[in-house]
Amino acid sequence: MKNILILLITGLLSAFSWAEDITGRVVSVHDGDTIILLTPEQKQIKIRLAEIDTPEIGQPYGNKAKKALSDWVFDQTLTARSNKKDRYGRVLAQLYLGEVWINAEMVKQGDAWVYRQYSRDPR
């Protein structure tokens, strides 16, 4: 029983600490919080910016949010730090262009808002 408990706790801790860095070039910006990243292996990965939200295309400011994200990341090589997928199969990630945290920059510019229900970062 003790060994099973240790295995269970170890599995839970590793699930919470898992993080994957995906590096690639942004080949498409779907909207203000979703991109397509092309990896060096030529694999396209749909990424949803974690912990933020933007208006959808067709809603007020939706096109502005898309343009803002596109201005930051389109055709740029960046790193997506992820630890899970959403219910649509998209990778949820924090995006970094060098040292610039894109998710936070979108909020700072007023083109996105913090999705407080899912945010774990006090900043």
Per-residue pLDDT tens digits for 86-100: 999 999 999 999 999
Q: Annotated catalytic, 90?
A: yes
Task: Exactly one of 25, 41, 48, 81 is catalytic; name it.
Answer: 48
- DSSP helix/strand/coil, 10: helix
Q: What is the pLDDT at residue 119?
A: 54
**Tens digits of residue pLDDT in 42-58:** 999 999 999 999 999 99
**Secondary-structure class of domain 20-114 per CATH:** mainly beta
Q: Annotated catalytic, 123?
A: no
Q: What is the pLDDT at residue 19?
A: 73
Q: Annotated catalytic, 56?
A: yes
Closest CA to 122 of 55, 51, 69: 51
Q: What's the Cα-to-Cα distance from 59 to each of 1, 21, 86, 94, 107, rounded to whole Å?
A: 55, 32, 22, 24, 18
Task: Exactly one of 25, 56, 81, 105 is catalytic; name it.
Answer: 56
**Tens digits of residue pLDDT in 15-73:** 444 578 999 999 999 999 999 999 999 999 999 999 999 999 999 999 999 999 999 99
Please say if the pLDDT value at position 5 is more than 50: no
pTM recorded for the entire structure: 0.79
